[in-house]
Structure 1
Amino acid sequence: MFLLLFVIFLAACLAAGSTGALFSPGTWYEGLNKPRWTPPNRAFPVAWGTIYLCISAAGAIVAQHDGNGIAMALWALQIALNGLWTPVFFGLKRITAGLMIILALWLTLIASIIAMWQVAPAAGLLFLPYILWISVATALNTEIRRLNPSRGSSEA
């Protein structure tokens, strides 16, 4: 049962992650002012691959337990917000709107970790790499907004 659930959760992650192929960073992103500590482009697929495996496992673990309703609802919300950020930030080129989405994602991840921990502590632990990466991404989005004030809300 775990393997089937894992594959289903992984498919959801891959669907959310596919927005990166549809809305790639491109020349617009390359032209933005970014902080010196911006992770190299090669770090993103490694980080996301690891994160998607971890959160798929977390979802599969929690799905097998009674009393998992809140944790599962939060899992669904986080993957929806995850999939929404890329088209808004890279597709619509809305830096400020992207920041609002990633802040909502960060808060949802905190709630997810707490809810999952209550159902199955291992699942909560599996979300830790995700919250760490999203913390970096949130700081990066914030700095890009600060460094590009004229491009924050409606650059197309």
Structure 2
Amino acid sequence: MGFDWLLFTVFLGACAAAATTGSMFPPGRWYEALRKPAWNPPNWVFPVVWSLLYLLIAGAAARVAPLEGSAMAMAFWAFQIALNTLWTPIFFGLQRIKAGMVVIVFLWIAVFGAMVTAWQLDPIAGAMLAPYLLWVTIAASLNGAVWRLNPEAASARPVES
């Protein structure tokens, strides 16, 4: 059985829906004004990395979904894409740094679960999710650093940007 491009397209559509929150809730002036760690990636890195990651995330799902026993892997996949979609509106839209941290911790757990359960069925699919887990680890570290460096913003009510 070959690669199912229609299945890939459906999963890529779910990834595109998650990615849409990035354009709906851009970082804006609020985020630009926050103190960030010296290792904060430049802004151009984010869309490049996320574009590649979404292709890998969709590809991993397309490889695993048709396999016998894929229910748990697909449940973790659904959980991670839901949390992926949720983080941007919470962090950038609502300007809730601490709530963003909670979401991203659960996102890390969901991605780890998706990677492990996919790996058990198809090691290539599991490996395709490893860069995503690495990026979410970096993103969680960045979220935590922004929280630590901006305690006043972490407890403040959001402002118009």
Say yes or no: TM over 0.5: yes
**1:122 positional shift:** 0.8
What pairs up with 1:98-109 in 2 under 5 angstroms? 98-109=100-111
Matched, 1:35 2:37: yes
Aligned structure 1 segments of 4 or more residues deviating by more than 6 angstroms? none
What's 1:92 paired with?
A: 94
After alignment, is 146-155 or 42-51 more displaced?
146-155
Flag structure 2 segments of 5+ consecutive residues without an equivalent: none
The structure 2 residue matched to 1:24, chosen from 23, 26, 31, is: 26
Equivalent pairs: percent with the same residue? 50
Per-residue deviation, 1:119: 1.2
What's the CA shift string for 1:124-149, capped at 9, x where partnerless?
A: 00001101111110000000000000
Q: Pick from 98, 117, 123 the counterpart of residue 115 of structure 1.
A: 117
TM-score by length of 1: 0.98
Pairwise CA RMSD: 0.9
Q: Report the secondary structure of 1:35's partner residue.
A: coil
Q: Shift of residue 154 of structure 1?
A: 4.0
2:75 to 73, 76, 94: 73
Contact conserved, 1:97 with 1:153, CA < 8 A, in 2?
A: no
Aligned counterparts of 2:96 and 2:37: Cα–Cα separation in 1: 18
Write the mapping of 1:56-67 to structure 2, written as runs, cut at 5 A.
56-67=58-69
Q: 2:141 matched to 1:132?
A: no
